[in-house]
Amino acid sequence: MAPSIIVPNRSVNGVRIPTVGYGTMLFPEPQRAAELIQGALECGYRHIDTARKYGSEEWVGAGIRASGLARKDIWVTTKVTEENAKADDFKRSVDTSLKTMGLDYVDLLLIHWPQPKIPMEETLGALAQAKKDGLAKNIGVSNFTVALLDEAVAKCSEPLLTNQIEYHAYIRQDKVMAACRKHGLLVSCHVPLARGAVVKDPVLREIAKSHNKTTAQIALKWLIQQADTVVVPRALSMSQIRENIDLYGFELSPAEMKRVSGLRERNLRIVDPSVRRPVWDEG
C-alpha cells in the first residue's frame, strides 16, 4: 500500500534523511507500541528515532518487520547512553541495540548525552569504530553544547552528521545551532512540541486557524522551514501520528515565522536532567 504522505528528505553532505521522523520515547502502553510504529510507517514515516535508554528498540524492530517495508527504505536512529561511554561498554550497547531490533546496521548512531567522567576521545573512538565496522552508516551526538560540539568535531576520526538537541517554539538555541552550521551539521529536534506545552499557545492557534491546521502542525512546520533541521515528534495515537506528518502543501509566511520565533523568549527547557546535564548555552 502506498503511503498517504511522502515526506521529503533533507540533504546534508550527500546524506539524505527524512525531514520528519517518529520519536519512540515514553510509550505508556507498551503493548501498543509496535502497532503504532507499524502504523507510522504505513502512513508515510520513513524515519524512526529510538535509543537504548528509551526501551523501545524491541518495538521498533517489531514495527519494521510488521510493516513489510524494505530495510533500505527506513531510516533508523538509535543512541548509546552515557552509562556506556567506555569503549567496550559502547560496543556492547551497539551490539545489543542491533540484536534487539533485529537489524544489521542503523542509519544513524548517536552519543545520547555527554559523559564528563570518561575522556571524550574514548567514546568518540568507539562511535567512529561502529561506523568503520558497518554497524552505523552515519554517526553524531545529542545534547552537546557549543564547546562540547567543537571538541567532538575536532577529535572524531569520522565526520559527524548531526547534533540532536531540544528545540521547539519555546526555547532559544541560536548559539548551538550556529555551531552546528559552522561545522556543517544537521540539527535534529527532539521534544519539538515541548511535550505538548506549545499546543495551546494563542499565537500558534491564530496562525493554525488561518491555514486550517492544528497548533502542533504549525509548531512543527516552523521548525522544518528552518534550514538544516529535522524533527522527531512522539505521538501516542494514529490521529496524532497522521497530524504530525501532514506538514506539506502549505508554507508559513516570513511574518508568521517571525511571530513564532518570538515565542522562544520564554526559554522553557523541558529536558534538563540534573544528573547528567552539561552547562547549557543560553540563547
CATH number where 173 lies:
3.20.20.100
* Model pLDDT, residue 29: 83
**pLDDT (tens digit, 9 = 90+) per residue, 262-279?**
999 999 999 988 777 899
Examine the residue annotation and report whether 248 is marked as an active-site residue of this protein.
no
Give phi and psi for 166, each to the nearest 5. -70, 120
Residues paired with residue 80 on neighbouring β-strands, in sequence order: 111
Confidence of residue 30 (pLDDT cuts 50, 70, 90): confident
One of 22, 45, 54, 170 is an active-site residue; which one? 54
Residue 212 within a domain: no
Is the pTM of the predicted complex or chain greater than 0.85?
Answer: yes
**pLDDT (tens digit, 9 = 90+) per residue, 205-248?**
999 999 999 999 999 999 999 989 999 999 999 999 999 999 99
Dist. CA 8–CA 267, nearest whole Å: 30
Instruction: Decide: 77 and 107 in contact? Cβ < 8 Å.
Output: yes
- Report, as an integer, the average pLDDT of 89-99: 98
Residue 30 within a domain: yes
- Report, as an integer, the average pLDDT of 64-77: 97
pLDDT mean across residues, the chain: 95
Record the cell numbers describing residue 56, joined without a space. 523501545
Element (H, E) at 20: none
Confidence of residue 202 (pLDDT cuts 50, 70, 90): very high
Instruction: Decide: 188 and 232 in contact? Cβ < 8 Å.
Output: yes
Kindly tell me if the per-residue pLDDT of 180 is higher than 60.
yes
Residue 136 within a domain: yes
Confidence of residue 283 (pLDDT cuts 50, 70, 90): confident
* Model pLDDT, residue 2: 62
Residue 275 within a domain: no
Residue 50 within a domain: yes
- Report, as an integer, the average pLDDT of 72-93: 97
Kindly tell me if the per-residue pLDDT of 1 is higher than 60.
no
Residue 224 within a domain: no
- Report, as an integer, the average pLDDT of 189-212: 97
- Report, as an integer, the average pLDDT of 253-259: 98
Residue 279 within a domain: no
SS3 53: coil
Q: Using CA of residue 208, residue 209, residue 213, residue 215, what is the dihedral sign?
A: positive
Residue 77 lies in domain: 16-196+231-240
Domain count across the chain: 1
Residue 68 within a domain: yes
